[in-house]
Amino acid sequence: MAGRPRAKGVVDRREGREAQIVDTAAQLFRQQGYASTSVRDIAAAIGVNVATPHYYFGSKPAILYRIYQDTFDAFDDVEIEELPAHEALLALAKAGALVTAQRSDYVAVFFQEFRWLDRHLPEEMCRDLRDRESRFMRRMLELAKHAIGEGTIRAVDPRAVVSNIIGVSAWTYQWHRSGEPGALEGVALDCVELLFNGLLITPR
C-alpha cells in the first residue's frame, strides 16, 4: 500500500538536510579521504547527532553513492538530442566545467575515489556506477566520432577528444582554489573555450 504523501515543507526540510549531509561529506572525503572519514566526523562537522546521517542515508557507502549519482545526473540533465554533434560535445564540456566550479568537492571525490569503488561500495551500487560511467563514455565517443565524420572538428583520435574534455573537469578544481565560485566558473569555461577553439575546423 502506498505511503501517505508528505507535506511540501516536510519534503523540503528532508531534502535540505540530505543535501547538507552530502555536501559536508564531500568536503571531508576530499580533505581526509573516504576511508579515513567516519559518519561521526560528518555528523560532528554539521553539528548533529551521529544517528542523523544514518537516519537519512543508512550508511556511509550510501552517502558516497549519492555523490556519484548527483555528479552523473548533472550530465544526464543536459539536453543535447537536437544539437549537432560538435555542439552537443561543447554543451557537455560546459556542463562538466560548471559542475567542477559549483561542486568542486563532488568532482574531487569523484576522481579521487573512483578507482576504489570496489572497496568502498556494495556490489550493486558499484555495478550501477560502473554502468553509468560506461554509458557516458560511449555517448561521448559516439558524439566525437559523429563530429569528426561531419567535418566539424579535427580528425583526431576520438578517445583523445573525450580525454581532453574530461580532463578539463578532472583538473580545473586543482588549478584554482581561491574559494570564489564565480572566478572558478570563469577559469573552467575558459578552458573549455580554449579546447574547442583548437578542435573546431573553423574556430569561433
Bigger pLDDT: 85 vs 185: 85
Kindly report, residue by residue over 137-154, the tens digit of the pLDDT: 999 999 999 999 999 888
Mean pLDDT, residues 185-202:
71
**C-alpha angle with apex 129: 15 to 32, nearest 5 degrees?**
70
What amino acid occupies position 138? R
**Does 204 reside within a domain?**
no
Tally of CB atoms within 10 A around 150: 12
Place of cell 572566478: 183
- Kindly indicate the confidence band of residue 41, based on its pLDDT and cuts at 50, 70 and 90: very high
Is residue 189 domain-resident?
A: yes
Share above pLDDT 90 across residues of the chain, in percent, rounded to a whole number: 54
Domain count, the chain: 1
Residue type, 86: H
Q: What pLDDT does residue 112 have? A: 92
% pLDDT > 70, the chain: 80
Distance CA 56, CA 15 (A): 9
Q: What is the pLDDT of residues 89-105, one digit of tens each?
A: 988 888 888 888 788 89
Q: Which residues contact 17 (CB under 8 A, 6 or more apart)?
A: 52, 56
Q: Considering the domain boundaries, does residue 171 fall inside one?
A: yes
Please tell me the total number of residues recorded for the chain in this structure. 204
CATH number of residue 114's parent domain: 1.10.357.10
Quote the cell numbers at residue 100: 567542477
Residue 67 domain flag: yes
CB–CB of 78/95 below 8 Å? yes
Q: Is residue 59 part of a domain?
A: yes
Cα separation, 109 vs 146, in Å, equals 31
For residue 130, give the amino acid letter. Answer: R
pLDDT above 90 (res 15): no
What is the pLDDT, as a whole number, of residue 4?
A: 47
Residue type, 97: A
**Residue 128: in which H helix or E strand, if any?**
helix 123-150
Instruction: Give pLDDT, residue 182.
Output: 57
Global pTM reads: 0.82
Quote the DSSP letter at residue 58: S
CA distances from 129 to 5, 68, 95, 134, 182 (A): 30, 7, 19, 9, 30
**Residue 99, in any domain of the structure:** yes
Q: What is the DSSP string of 92-112?
A: HHHHHHHHHHH-HHHHHHHHH
* Domain interval for residue 156: 8-199
Q: Under 8 Å CB-to-CB from 66, ≥6 apart: which residues?
A: 18, 22, 57
